[in-house]
Amino acid sequence: MADPVMRVDDLNVWFEVPGGEVHPVRDVSFELQRGERLGLVGESGCGKTTVMLALMGLLPPNASVSGRVLIDGVDLLERGEVSIREHRWRDVAMVFQGAMNAFNPVRRIGAQLLEPMVFHGVEKGAAAKSRACELLELVGLPATRFESFPHELSGGQRQRAAIAMALACRPKVLLADEPTTALDVIVQAQVLDLLQQLSDDLGLSLLIVTHDLPIVASLCHRSVVMYAGQVAESGAALDLVRNPLHPYTRLLHAATPEIGGSGPIASIPGVPPRLDHPFPGCAFVDRCDVADDACASQQPQLLEIAQGRAVRCLHPEVHQ
C-alpha cells in the first residue's frame, strides 16, 4: 500500500525567542497512506502540535520552517503563506485541540460550516446549506443545529460539529490535534468511534496527535512516537504497544494507568531536554533506564529495523 497521500520530509521548525532560538521540531519525516489512521504520540512539549501547525502553515510569525510537506506530490510549503492558503481545509483540514473554542461564539454554527465551502467554491447557496445539514447528520447531530450558536451545544456536540466543519470541503487529510482532551471519558469514546467510522466510510486519511498511547493503539493503523522534537520510534500501532523498541515508548506505555490498578501511577523521572541547543548524544539519555556512556556522546540515527518499523536508539530492545 505505497500510496501516500501526505509525505512529510525532514520537517524542521525553529522559534525565534528573546535571547536565542528554540528548535522544537527536528528532522521529522513520515508518510500517511490513503485511508490510513496515523497517530503522533508524545508527551507535552515534544513538538507534536507544532508539527500539526507547521503542516498547515499556521505557526506564529517568529517561527521558521524547513522541509517539505507533500500532498499528492504538491509541496504546500513551497511558497509560504500564499501557496498554502488554497490547500487549507480543501486538502488538509483540522480539528483543533481546544475544539471547545473552535467556533466563533457570536456566529451561528451553520454560517461557520458554510464559510470554507463558499470560500473555496466547493458548494454555494442552497447546495452548500444542504451539504452542511448532511454533515451535521453525518456526525450525529440534528440538522437543526445549523441555526444554533456554539454556546448552545455541549462539549461533545461542539466537537462533533467541529468534525463536521472539518469535512466541509472533502479534505484528503484530516488532522486531529488532541481531539478528545477536554471531553469526559464517555464522550471521548464516542468521538473516537465517530472518527474511526468516518475514516472507514469516507476513506479519509487521519493524522491524530495525542499523548494517549491506548487511544492510538485502538484507533490507528500506525503510529509515530516523538520525543524532544525527534521521531523516536515508528511502526504499526499495536506493535509499538506490544513490542516497543525504544525505551521511551516502553516507559510511556508503562505510565498509562490501568483501570482497577493499585499502587502509584508510574511516571518517567526527569524532564525533557532543553530545545535551544543541539543534543550531544541521545535526547532521552537523562531519563533512560538502559542508557550507557555511548548514549551521552553519540547521537542515535533513526534506523529502519524492519519493514515500516524504525527506531532512534543505540540499544533498541529487540526481543525475539
Q: Are 264 and 279 in contact (CB under 8 A)?
A: no
The angle at the Cα of 100, spanning 97 to 102, to the nearest 5 degrees, equals 70
| Contact track, another protein, 65-94, x by CB under 8 A | --------------------xxxxxx--xx
98 binds another protein (CB under 8 A): yes
Site string for another protein, 2-41 (x = CB under 8 A): ----------------------------------------
> What is the nearest approach in angstroms of another protein to the Cβ of residue 175?
9
Q: Are residues 10 and 66 in contact, defined by beta-carbon separation less than 8 angstroms?
A: yes
Which run of H or of E encompasses 82? helix 80-85
Cβ distance to another protein smaller for residue 166 or 310? 166
Site for another protein in 158-217 (CB under 8 A): 165
CA angle 108, 113, 115 (to 5 degrees): 95
* Buried/exposed 281-292: b ≥16 CB within 10 Å, e otherwise: bbbbbebbeebe
Q: Is 58 in the site for another protein (CB under 8 A)?
A: yes
Among 79, 107, 274, 277, binds another protein (CB under 8 A): 107
Give the whole-angstrom CA distance, residue 146 versus residue 132. Answer: 8
Alpha-carbon torsion 172, 9, 66, 299, what sign? positive
Interaction mask 109-138, another protein, x per CB under 8 A: ------xx--xx------------------
Rg of the chain, C-alpha, whole Å: 20
Near another protein by CB under 8 A: residue from 13, 22, 32, 56: 56
Task: State in angstroms the smallest separation of the CB of 152 from another protein.
Answer: 8
Name which of 101 and 297 has its Cβ closer to another protein.
101
The alpha-helical segments, DSSP class H, found in 145-276 are 155-166, 185-202, 213-219, 237-242, 247-254
**219-258 positions binding another protein, by CB under 8 A:** none
Return the residue of 103, 227, 248, 279 that touches another protein, per CB under 8 A: 103
Q: Shortest distance, CB of residue 9 to another protein, whole angstroms?
A: 22
User: Is-contact 63 233, C-beta < 8 A?
Assistant: no
Residues making up the chain, counted from first to last: 320
Q: Which residues bind another protein (CB under 8 A)?
A: 56, 58, 85-90, 93-94, 96-98, 100-107, 115-116, 119-120, 149, 151, 165
